[in-house]
Amino acid sequence: MSIQLQMLGTGSAFARRYFNNNALLYDDEFTLLIDCGVTAPMALHQLNVSFDDIDAVLITHIHADHVGGLEELAFTMKFKYKRKMILYIADTLIDTLWEHTLRGGLYQDGEIMTLEDIFIIRPLSPGQAQFISNQITLEMIPTEHIPGKKSYSLYVNEHIFYSADMTFSSSLLAELVHNRACNVILHDCQLTGPGEVHTTLQELLTLPEDIQRIIYLMHYGDNKDEFVGATGLMTFLEQHLIYDYP
């Protein structure tokens, strides 16, 4: 059983050379969009992928570079493709996504009045692994990002950790690697400055070598090329490339 990951973008919220840090996760019969930021529609267009080619979308947290493309996705699915897309989302984020992000743009009296009018909602309970296809299981793991704002990283198929935007947690990474068989870590990385709401490269460089070797860096800034060769044993993910994971 193998799956594939294709990053639509690997950029931070303020990157201009790279699209927002969103991804497509594939198996043989199912395609999941992980986050749908402002630049996701353009990134999909460049890859010749339409919203109708996607089976479901999953949201890790509510920031524009992760949800800013959902309005376009929803309208396109409803009025062009005449179907609702499945939305995987932590049960704690459902009301916030509608009331504080999507309602203002999507609401149409008598037509679109709730999130359920535009998506098939599949709530995920954090800490519980769930099959979303025959070959993909997902567990949402609460991770710290903005104080007071819920954010959830992903544990895929019991061996791939996909970080949402998160502050550094060496204890979580060690737990996953040493006790939960994690052998791939796809981690957001702020290349410079203090890590107030993101994990920094300097923090990741403090990790032991066995963990660094399995880390692939994403959600980086436009100055990424300046750091090639300066990331220890860690490797940069590249947008639009397809990565295979047995």
Percent of all residues in the chain with a pLDDT value above 70, rounded to a whole number: 100
Residues constituting the chain: 246
Give the per-residue pLDDT at 243: 98
pLDDT band at 1 (very low <50, low <70, confident <90, very high): low
Beta bridge partners of 220: 11
Q: What is the pLDDT of residues 85-107, one digit of tens each?
A: 999 999 999 999 999 999 999 99
Asked if the model's pLDDT at residue 161 lies above 80, the reply is yes
Q: What is the pLDDT of residues 196-220, one digit of tens each?
A: 999 999 999 999 999 999 999 999 9
Check residue 219 and give left, alpha or beta (phi > 0: left; psi -120 to 50: alpha): left
Check residue 110 and give left, alpha or beta (phi > 0: left; psi -120 to 50: alpha): left
Q: How many CB atoms lie within 10 A of CB 162?
A: 23
Separation of first and last alpha carbons in the chain:
6
Q: In the numeric block, which tokens belong to residue 168?
A: 């550094």
Residue in this structure with the two tokens 């567990």, named with its chain if needed: 139
Question: Contact 150/61 with Cβ under 8 angstroms?
Answer: yes
104 Cβ neighbours under 8 A, 6+ residues apart: none
Residue in this structure with the two tokens 């009296």, named with its chain if needed: 109
- Angle at CA of residue 7, ends 5 and 9, nearest 5°: 170
Residue ranges and CATH numbers for the domains of the chain are: 3-245 (3.60.15.10)
Query: How do strand 119-124 and strand 85-90 relate by DSSP bridges?
Result: parallel
Q: Any idea which residues carry the catalytic annotation?
A: 71, 107
- What does the alpha-carbon distance between residue 91 and residue 76 come to, in Å, rounded to a whole number? 25
Q: What is the pLDDT of residues 144-160, one digit of tens each?
A: 999 999 999 999 999 99
